[in-house]
């Protein structure tokens, strides 16, 4: 009989998920809800705070219904999360903005009034998706909201607050904003002064795996959890993949083919020369050990946009089944060009270029080639013997085989129902290697 269970939230972009785990990585129950993201204007992506609370509360209700006995045994809570999604709160801790989701593009024309210092931030370039440029946009375009703003809060920070009453952010998540000294784990004063955000209150920064103690009595009652339940700071979803693959502190790499294509690994020490290669570096659960990560938009998003335009009547599973009828090495059709905004795709390959199986195969190869480019940046001399895979793309054995063919190494899915939840669970159980 198990003595305790752990509750893990997965705050993704498409779905919010929650899982109950216990013992040796055993999943007891899983629930998910669609993220309540709205798009009120072209390029905008936002979520009301009340909708976020409602969504994660619904996850808890679902888990309690699916596995009531396991839910009563929950003694630990943690999370895995997206980054650069934030809300501004007033002095009464009420929202004055919705959550601005990381992929919101309203700040594309905003320019940062200070130079990014890679040696401190670990961010090769601060782009429109990052928090400081969106803060600049609010200040310039919504001055009345800016004047009422008192607290800055990332998405997982508000989850943490709901359970603990504490304003604390995880170092890796905060680091991806470009506003943090990732070595000293403090907010960058020059950056705050330059964007005029020094009057805002920012949460304290702690490493992933830090225990914040027991949840508040109010949270215990509200969410029907034991008053002995403890809360542990989680981490970024890509970093959780490294933990789930058990390659923290080892010479391995993990790829995520989802909304973005991301590759992540860990390494001892910070390397300032990696800025020229576009590598993001961020703090790990251990001082002196850093995560290294690359992003790209040639990802599973290609397949999502393709399906939306050409085959909305077919599921992803159906598309994959059609492509799987082709030999792995069949490159009869090539994806030459694409446009996310115009939903345009250009294929070459004669008569076969208009056939769905060949088009899907071409998309698979396009992403696999992008993955190869990322892996070669991480490992310019000798590729690792194996690449671990997660995200939606890891569900396709055919796509994994294409990636393995392109890379010349094994590409293996992490054998877990929810790999990122597993990574966060290992933060709780200390099943991580430094």
Quick: pLDDT tens for 41-100: 999 999 999 999 999 999 999 999 999 999 999 999 999 999 999 999 999 999 999 999
Residues 305-330: what's their mean pLDDT? 96
Contact 212, 169 (CB under 8 A): no
- Name beta bridge partners: 369: none
Place of tokens 């972009």: 13
- Per-residue pLDDT band for 431 (boundaries 50, 70, 90) equals low
Cα–Cα nearest to 93, from 143, 150, 142, 139: 150
**pLDDT over 70 (residue 113):** yes
pLDDT at 293 over 50: yes
Domains of the chain: 5-237+420-429 (3.30.420.40)
Give the integer Cα–Cα distance in Å for 414 and 293. Answer: 18
Q: pTM of the full predicted structure?
A: 0.92
- What percentage of the chain has pLDDT greater than the value 70? 98
Strand, helix or coil for residue 93: coil
- Considering only the C-alpha atoms of the chain, give the largest distance between any 2 of them, rounded to a whole number of Å: 66
* pLDDT score, position 236: 96
Count of Cβ atoms closer than 10 Å to residue 344 Cβ = 11
Mean pLDDT estimate for the chain: 94
31, 18 Cβ separation under 8 angstroms: yes
**Residue 343 pLDDT more than 80?**
no
**Can you tell me the distance from the alpha carbon of 400 to that of 356, in angstroms, rounded to the nearest whole number?**
19
Which pLDDT score is estimated for 275? 96
Phi and psi at 125, nearest 5°, equal: -155, 135
Tell me the C-alpha distance between 81 and 262, whole Å: 14
d(CA 433, CA 415): 19
d(CA 264, CA 411): 14
d(CA 137, CA 178): 16
Q: How far is the C-alpha of 213 from the C-alpha of 195, rounded, in Å?
A: 34
CA–CA gap between residue 94 and residue 115 (Å, rounded): 32
For the chain, report the end-to-end CA distance as a whole number of angstroms. Answer: 31
Dist CA 297 CA 284 (whole Å): 24
Provide the 8-state DSSP code for 215. Answer: P
Cα 290 to the center of its chain, rounded Å: 17
Q: Is the pLDDT of residue 342 over 90?
A: no
Per-residue model confidence as pLDDT tens digits over 138-194: 999 999 999 999 999 999 999 999 999 999 999 999 999 999 999 999 999 999 998
Residues 278, 376 contacting (CB under 8 angstroms):
no
How does DSSP classify residue 312? T
């Amino acid at each position: 009989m198990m003595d305790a269970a752990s509750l893990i939230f997965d705050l993704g972009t498409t779905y919010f998920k929650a899982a109950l785990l216990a013992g040796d990585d055993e999943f007891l129950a899983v629930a998910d809800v669609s993220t309540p993201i709205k798009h009120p204007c072209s390029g905008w992506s936002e979520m009301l705070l009340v909708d976020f609370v409602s969504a994660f509360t619904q996850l808890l209700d679902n888990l309690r219904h699916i596995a009531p006995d396991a839910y009563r045994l929950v003694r630990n809570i943690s999370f895995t999360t997206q980054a650069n999604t934030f809300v501004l709160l007033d002095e009464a801790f009420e929202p004055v903005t919705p959550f601005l989701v990381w992929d919101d593009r309203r700040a594309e024309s905003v320019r940062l009034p200070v130079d990014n210092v890679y040696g401190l931030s670990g961010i090769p370039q601060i782009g429109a998706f990052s928090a400081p440029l969106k803060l600049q946009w609010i200040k310039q375009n919504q001055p009345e909201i800016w004047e009422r703003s008192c607290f800055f809060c990332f998405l997982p920070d508000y989850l943490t607050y709901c359970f603990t009453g504490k304003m604390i952010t995880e170092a890796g998540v905060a680091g991806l904003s470009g506003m943090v000294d990732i070595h000293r784990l403090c907010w960058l004063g020059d950056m705050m002064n330059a964007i005029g955000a020094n009057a805002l209150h920012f949460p304290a920064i702690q490493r992933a795996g830090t225990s914040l103690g027991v949840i508040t009595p109010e949270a215990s009652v509200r969410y029907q959890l034991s008053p002995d339940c403890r809360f542990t700071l989680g981490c970024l979803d890509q970093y959780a993949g490294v933990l789930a693959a058990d390659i923290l502190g080892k010479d391995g790499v993990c790829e995520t083919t989802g909304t973005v294509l991301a590759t992540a690994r860990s390494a001892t020490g910070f390397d300032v020369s990696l800025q020229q290669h576009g590598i993001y570096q961020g703090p790990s659960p251990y001082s002196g050990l850093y995560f290294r990560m690359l992003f790209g938009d040639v990802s599973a998003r290609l397949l999502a946009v393709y399906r939306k335009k050409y085959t909305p009547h077919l599921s992803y599973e159906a598309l994959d089944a059609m492509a799987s009828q082709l030999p792995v090495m069949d490159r009869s059709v090539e994806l030459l060009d694409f446009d996310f905004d115009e939903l345009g795709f250009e294929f070459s390959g004669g008569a076969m270029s208009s056939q769905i199986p060949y088009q899907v195969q071409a998309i698979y190869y396009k992403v696999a080639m992008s993955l190869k480019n990322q892996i070669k940046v991480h490992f310019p001399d000798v590729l690792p013997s194996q690449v671990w895979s997660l995200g939606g793309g890891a569900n396709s054995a055919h796509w994994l085989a294409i990636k393995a063919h392109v890379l010349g190494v094994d590409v293996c899915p992490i054998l877990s129902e929810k790999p990122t939840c597993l990574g966060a669970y290992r933060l709780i159980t200390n099943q991580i290697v430094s």
